[in-house]
Amino acid sequence: MKPILDYSIYLVTDENCLHGRSLFKAVEEALQGGVTLLQYRGKAKDGAEMYRQAAALKALTDKYHVPLIINDRIDIALAVGASGVHLGQEDLPCRAARNVCGNDFIIGVSAHNEQEAEQAVADGADYLGSGAVFGSITKTGVNTLGVSNLARICQSVNIPVVGIGGVTADNYELVLSAGAAGAAVVSSILGAADIGKTVRRFKEIYHSVKEYGKI
């Protein structure tokens, strides 16, 4: 049975943000703080190292009952028993991935405009990652989407949309108010001096916005 995910605080790993700290220690602090979904991204690593890290993260996310998504690599996701995979526009097409993974596997797709969003839905995506909403310090050469374009993507589809790119506790409310189900966050959590406190701040904002009927 396909899991129902909470996209509100969606942490994406990037070891360049850790300031020398252990990836696993940082992720555990984030999980303790209330991260609701974890995506493992290990683009620069070979398959063996990705598998090792992904398996260790799967054990950690299981401990906190949080689903694990693997970036790009369907083989790694299936090998470690992750809940799903996130695919970019240059990765294996969503429809082909669905043929490999089956209907109970979560597939997220990056969508930068309404056309890509609608195509991803037609191809069977479960959720969209849309950005870079406010630019990005972890990726170079990306275009800024903006809140208004994020809102248009959210309005164009009937599946959850996650805003990504430059999201911090200071602008998180704007992402939610645009209609997003949550935000994918990288450096503002993993690079924080106090990771747990930062995640709790995101959680407070989410519940505050939800309580006042903005989402």
Catalytic residue among 25, 52, 63, 139: 139
Q: Is 8 a catalytic residue?
A: no
110 noted as active-site residue: yes
Q: Which of 8, 83, 110, 130 is catalytic?
A: 110
Can you tell me the distance from the alpha carbon of 104 to that of 185, in angstroms, rounded to the nearest whole number?
25
Structure tokens at 167: 């999201």
The residues pairing with 161 across neighbouring beta strands, listed in sequence order, are: 128
Catalytic residue among 8, 41, 58, 83: 41
Residue 52 falls in the annotated catalytic set = no
Counting other chains too, the contacts that 109-112 makes at CB distance below 8 Å and 24 or more residues apart are 110/86, 111/153, 111/161, 112/143, 112/145
Helix ranges, the chain (H): 23-33, 47-63, 74-80, 94-101, 114-122, 147-156, 172-177, 187-190, 195-211
Residues involved in catalysis: 41, 110, 139
